Amino acid sequence: MTTLLRRLLIVISALALMALVACSSGADTLTVGFSPFYDQVSYNASSDPDADGYDTHLGYEADLLTALESMDGFGLSFERRPIPEWPGIWLKSATDEFDIVGGGITIREARTRNAAGDTVVAFTNGHIAFRQSLLVRSEDAERMATHERLTGDLIIGVYRDTTGEGRLLQLTGLADGNGTLAAGARVTTPNGDVVADGSNAYTITPASASEILTDRSHLYPPDDTMPQVMYLPDDVSPDMVHEMLLAGVIDGRAGEEIENNNAVHGSDGNLAITALDDLVEYGGFTVDADNTELLARLNEGIDYLTDNRRIGYAEWRADPTVFMQRAALRKRL
């Protein structure tokens, strides 16, 4: 064998080995956009865009994705970037900027459609259970034990375009099951107050709102048997909301049970959770509706890691390594 031939065989062998390593390591790198504001579920190490920890994804969903990456033969790698704006965050997986989007997003069919009504994203299988609730001052817990007890002198804070908002409006009678506001409800907007007439021209759902209500800041009920609603700007952090609550600026915050429980545990007994919703919903990630292959791969991995929803937030909170332990048990999906 000539020297040239030997060198050629060495080069071919090296290329083959490199291809094998690349294949076995599974190098499909996808961009994951995540909401950084959901404490313990999906948040970043630093809220400062200029800090090193800004792109560091932490929490339940972060650990679930890391376990997906670690599974031998699964073939996915994630580059993660925070998305600081919440409204419509679920639709960003249908853009060239992101392949997957998460951050405590409740699965709702209406959230799969864009403004034109076209289905542009699909949700993965649910992996975390959500229930809505109220966060209140401890001394008001009995008075505000249920949504039925909320009256017109009470102000409930909530973020726009969230499940917390949608369920609050429905459970207090401020909106019907389709999100249509009760006749007589008055909404403050940058263009002045508008009064709902009971038609679907005045609609608020967890997915969207009528254009005239897009930048709403306050909702006044049609009568005193329903509460007022104050809309919290996106840049108001949960800690700031807790300060507003303790200072009496608002009387309650409508939000998910996990988030509100986290606030209670860190409040030295000053806050309480009430009005736990009977409805249990699930959160998932979104992907482009046309990317059925990615959706199937994610669903397979999520179902395995969560043991088909037998392992969820409570199990992860008790042992944050639970998903990595599951990943290690399975050599190849």
pLDDT tens digits, 250-305: 999 999 999 999 999 989 999 999 999 999 999 999 999 999 999 999 999 999 99
pLDDT of res. 1: 46
Same-domain pairing of 244 and 138: yes
Same-domain pairing of 257 and 151: yes
Q: List Cβ neighbours of 187 (8 Å cut-off, separation of 6 or more).
A: 181, 193, 194, 195, 196, 202, 213, 216, 218, 219, 220
Q: List Cβ neighbours of 239 (8 Å cut-off, separation of 6 or more).
A: none
Same-domain pairing of 156 and 27: no
Provide the residue range defining the domain that includes 54.
Answer: 22-129+282-329
pLDDT of res. 14: 33
Using the structure block, give the residue that is written with the tokens 């997906």. Answer: 68
pLDDT of res. 319: 98
Residue 221 belongs to a domain: yes
Same-domain pairing of 291 and 240: no
Residue 9 belongs to a domain: no
pLDDT of res. 90: 98
Residue 222 belongs to a domain: yes
The helix (H) or strand (E) run that includes residue 19 is helix 3-25
pTM for the complete prediction? 0.85
Distance CA 102, CA 36 (A): 10
Same-domain pairing of 233 and 303: no
Same-domain pairing of 266 and 142: yes
Residue 13 belongs to a domain: no
User: Looking at residue 255, which CATH number applies to its domain?
Assistant: 3.40.190.10
Residue 153 belongs to a domain: yes
Residue 116 belongs to a domain: yes
Same-domain pairing of 100 and 162: no
Distance CA 112, CA 283 (A): 13
Torsion, CA 207, CA 211, CA 217, CA 219, rounded to 10:
-80
pLDDT of res. 9: 34
For the chain, strand residue ranges (E) read 28-34, 37-38, 42-44, 57-58, 76-82, 100-102, 121-123, 128-130, 132-137, 155-159, 186-189, 192-195, 218-220, 228-232, 252-256, 271-274, 281-283, 286-288
Q: List Cβ neighbours of 127 (8 Å cut-off, separation of 6 or more).
A: 64, 282, 283, 284, 302, 305, 306, 309, 312
Q: For residue 97, which phi and psi values (nearest 5 degrees)?
A: -80, -35
Hey, is 277 helix, strand or coil? coil
Same-domain pairing of 141 and 245: yes
Same-domain pairing of 254 and 298: no
pLDDT of res. 212: 96
pLDDT of res. 73: 82
Same-domain pairing of 125 and 138: no
- Count up the domains in the chain and report the number: 2
Same-domain pairing of 161 and 269: yes
Same-domain pairing of 267 and 172: yes
pLDDT lower than 70: segments of the chain? 1-27, 331-333
